[in-house]
Amino acid sequence: MTMMNEEAMDLVLIPAPIMGHLISDVEMAKRLLQTRHQLSITVLLMKLPLDSHLNSHVESLLANNHCSRLKFISLPEEGLPAPASKNGFTSFTFFVESHKPNVRDCVNEMKNNGVRFGGFVMDWTCMVMMDVADEFGLPTYVYYTSGAAMLGLQLHLQSLRDDHGVDVTEFKDSDPHLNLSTYSKPFPAKLLPLFALDKTGGSGYFLDIAKRMRKAKGILVNTFLELEPHALESLSKNASVPPVYPIGPIVNLKGNSIQESSEKEILKWLDGHPDSSVVFLCFGSCGSFPEPQVKEIAYALEQSGHRFLWSLRRPPSHGSIFPTDYNDPEEALPERFLEKTKSIGKVIGWAPQAAVLAHPAVGGFVSHCGWNSTLESIWFGVPIATWPIYTEQQANAFQLVEEIGIGVEVKMDYRYYFMGEFEILPEKVNAKEIETAITVLMDHPTINPPRMKAKELKGKSREALEEDGSSFNYFKCFFEHVMNNII
């Protein structure tokens, strides 16, 4: 490496204004900074008018803006359109695009201050910002917060549209199986992300992102080689896909100190139970169920007899897009449920998910299969009962059950509510189906195949990030790639 390559260099990171993405984007930046001492990262933060939790997190990042190599800048909010609660995906990209002048101004100021740029790194949902990078003649790199198989799925659908003239929205309500190179088994079309099939704009948004990603200099993916070897090999053989760097698992293990008192109470309750005896039910920051489905879950837990910790959230009220905690969960539960299960179960609202999964008492996770939650479960070696709700979670569930082998199916093609869009009242999953999945997940802990696979991947996920581990080495490769592409 030349002397010039040892000079200080700055990457501009544009995270998505979505809580799960923002947390992952920032954790990825911190990990990247550990790779090279001469690297600095400037993070340009967008707030979202409809999301107070996200905005509080943005404020906390700004308040702790003390590291000279990781700088946070809040983009101006004046005069910007608020994303509509309806047609959320297309309005979201319009909202991100409206920040282009602010990003341009920030980069201009940095340039005038003599910053040496390595390029832009942007969350995959913010690919419209590639236009700004191009204006400055800077390379664009992508951070893909989902897995490699999902990346391949998105690129495949885009190729069907642009290279073969296929209207992929016609797959909606059909039941063929697709041959996708990043999956080793035929993929059921009914599990495609619903926004990829949306004729009102969601499909175009999703596929246009993939088209832009093909023009990037490289794609960082939140996965690791040992988790998705087939998918990553497939992507590496595709000449139309930029270099892919599996640098995960990127997980946030620190939790939320705002809820510290609740966390202590929950962990104290778990302390009173044997190892691997508690099934944990949690469905993410946007996950909730209608009341009839809540009752079926309750019946299943009672009938299974397993110890349980259940994060139960109220569906969003009219005009909102996020679930809230119940003032009194009994209003949604069967009569006397809490009384009858008080010796084996605990119903809570918000859950400190990483802390719970880390607790030795937890032996299984009934999950919506968001990718962050999936990686946390793998990090702590906890097998998953798959119950996807929205976005790409159905595809993740298929991968966990059929490809990776750490999942047990509850209902793989279940869909409900997300961002005020696709308001579907799903067919109810009955108590017996749920009970069966929990029993398979929790019984015979020493000879349970998903549990054994989860334990194996726990070790491999940690080894990947250690010095000379696969992800550690891909971080180094990515940095060398950036240095070689500086103009």
Which active-site residues does the annotation give?
Answer: 21, 123
* Burial zone of 112 (CB within 10 Å; 0-12 exposed, 13-18 middle, 19+ buried): exposed
Residue with tokens 């962990």: 267
- CA dihedral for 418, 301, 371, 123, sign (positive or negative): positive
One DSSP character per residue, 433-455 reads HHHHHHHHHHS-TTS-HHHHHHH
What's the CA gap between 119 and 121, in Å, rounded?
Answer: 7
The DSSP H or E segment spanning 123 is: strand 117-123
Rg of the chain (C-alpha set):
22
Phi and psi based region of residue 337 (left: phi greater than 0; alpha: psi -120 to 50; beta: remaining): alpha
**Alpha helix positions (H), 86-228:** 88-97, 100-112, 130-135, 148-164, 202-213
Upper half-sphere CA count for residue 203 (Cβ side, 13 Å) = 20
Q: Map residue 121 onto helix, strand or coil.
A: strand
